[in-house]
Amino acid sequence: MSEVVTRFAPSPTGHLHIGGARTAIFCWLLARHFGGRFHLRIEDTDLLRSKQEYTDSILASMRWLGLDWDGELIYQTQRAALYNQYVDRLLEDGKAYWCSCTPEEVEAMREEARAKGLKPRYNGCCRERGLGPGEGRCVRLKTPQVGRVVFDDLVKGVIAVDVAELDDIVIRRADGMPTYNMAVVVDDHEMGITHVLRGDDHVSNTPRQIVIYEALGLSVPRFGHVPMILGPDRQKLSKRHGARAVIEYQNDGLLPQALLNYLVRLGWSHGNQELFSMEELVRFFDGTSLNPAAAAFDPAKLEWCNAHYMRELPLSELAALTAPFVVQAGLGEVEPDRLAELCRMFRERANNLKALAESFRPLLVPAEILEYAEKDAAKHFTEAGKNHLHALAQTFTACEPFDHANLEAALNGYVADNGLKFKEVAPPLRTALMGFMGGAHLPEIMAFLGREECLARLRRAAA
Ligand code: GLU
């Protein structure tokens, strides 16, 4: 195959959402699989809704997901002159014409067609008038009047559209700006795009774009239209379903590899495999096996995927990623080694970095402000429980060094020497240390806290 060149073409009218992110991932993977190029084009021609801050945010999300792009960023607003060169070429070749019909006149033509039970369309009245440029005039393509536009969609298979459906498409608006379809064709051609993968909300634009390619005598790229992502109830995906911008998932402590893996699987498959390294995705993703049916977003599976990647990460890396969330939770800066130790103890218990950071709270606040879960305190800080805590404080004082092995031996010794059962001692101890009946292995918790903090907790609970 000749070089594969793909692009992602977001409109900067909002942050990057998961639907767009998935399209971007597919485009990126296709290019990387074939050793080709992946470009990024900012479709910012909607001047009212496009904002630089959204472009910046989209780029930040792309970088966070690890989707690097080749070459310069392209902004459509900087290319109006280029698009108009192509419009002029079509005019010179007699493939397009000036049209002086006002929007009201065009609407009346549509109404007339509708009244006759026909498809509403422009009636072509300026086609052969030979008008030149002028105030209020747009340029229309002389769309072929008979025939079909046929393309073999990478996702949906062969799609055929009768040209009668297409109308004489406006390619330059009366204000001099090229239209969306015109700009996209020129850009995709100029950028050497071989494969256009995009959301299927654009599938109706594709035949229009193909007639423009053909009028210009340009080769037509391959198209693939991926279905929308649906909510778990198979309705249009919305915030209510947990569908948010990529940046919100990032702020919630998802790992980029988890979001990426989850989104790729939503619409593409490779046997039954669920989890893929980036290297595997690049190896396996060749633009086939894209599912033509819309997939439903499943927040629980995304969490599962994230939990998996949290468990896979080297502890030092997980600690570094969790550090900002610890600070954000108001727990301050924690030394990397101690943070790694916390991650080791708690990572099986959290599905995202934010929850992981929060799970450290009982071990990072000073004894005097540790919060007790009322129910657990009432149940375990009984007279007997307090007596054990008092005695344990004395037992542990003697541990030297104050480490896991010594603490474990001391705790087991206390239980055995007094003819007790572990379950009489562990619950008050756990509640005293953590504030509730949760957390990691007791000797580990105590070793982490250190002598001072540990004894302060036992004394406070015993009092
Ligand atoms: N700018 C369009 C969008 O954000 C993408 C168009 C395309 O990929 O051709 O939906």
- CA–centroid distance, 188 to ligand 1, in Å, is 12
pTM of the entire structure?
A: 0.93
Pocket test for ligand 1, best of 198, 201, 203, 204 (most atoms within 8 A of CB): 198
- CA–centroid distance, 20 to ligand 1, in Å, is 9
- Look at the domain 314-363 and name its fold: Helicase, Ruva Protein; domain 3 (1.10.8)
> What is the band of 276 on the pLDDT scale with cuts at 50, 70, 90?
very high
Domain coordinates in residue numbering, the chain: 79-226, 239-313, 314-363, 365-463
Give pLDDT tens digits for 138-190: 999 999 999 999 999 999 999 999 998 898 999 999 999 999 999 999 999 99
The CB of 221 under 6 Å from ligand 1? The reply is no
CATH tag, 365-463? 1.10.10.350
Whether the predicted pLDDT of 234 surpasses 90: no
CATH tag, 79-226? 3.40.50.620
Nearest to 4 by CA among 35, 28, 40: 35
Establish whether 379 is a catalytic residue.
no
φ, ψ at 160 (rounded to 5°): -125, 135
Whether the predicted pLDDT of 236 surpasses 90: no
The CB of 343 under 6 Å from ligand 1? The reply is no
Give pLDDT tens digits for 391-446: 999 999 999 999 999 999 999 999 999 999 999 999 999 999 999 999 899 999 99
Under 8 Å between Cβ of 392 and 411: yes
Q: What's the CA gap between 203 and 384, in Å, rounded?
A: 72
CA 409 vs CA 387, 415, 449: distances in Å: 20, 10, 17
The CB of 185 under 6 Å from ligand 1? The reply is no
pLDDT (mean) for 369-384:
97
The CB of 6 under 6 Å from ligand 1? The reply is no
SS3 assignment, position 290: strand
Whether the predicted pLDDT of 237 surpasses 90: no
SS3 assignment, position 72: coil
- Whether 79-226 shares its CATH topology with 314-363 is answered no
Give pLDDT tens digits for 301-320: 999 999 999 999 999 999 99
Percentage above 70 pLDDT, the chain:
99
Give pLDDT tens digits for 99-113: 999 999 999 999 998
Under 8 Å between Cβ of 177 and 146: no
The CB of 339 under 6 Å from ligand 1? The reply is no
Percentage above 90 pLDDT, the chain:
94
The CB of 11 under 6 Å from ligand 1? The reply is yes
**Catalytic residue selected from 239, 301, 421, 423:** 239
| Averaged pLDDT of the chain | 96
> What is the band of 1 on the pLDDT scale with cuts at 50, 70, 90?
low
Whether the predicted pLDDT of 42 surpasses 70: yes
CATH tag, 239-313? 1.10.1160.10
- CA–centroid distance, 240 to ligand 1, in Å, is 24
b/e per residue 79-114 (b: at least 16 CB within 10 A)? beeebbebbeebbeeebbbbbebeeeebeebbeeee
- CA–centroid distance, 341 to ligand 1, in Å, is 46
Taking the CA of residue 201 as reference, the ligand 1 atom at the shortest distance is: 10
pLDDT of residue 328: 98
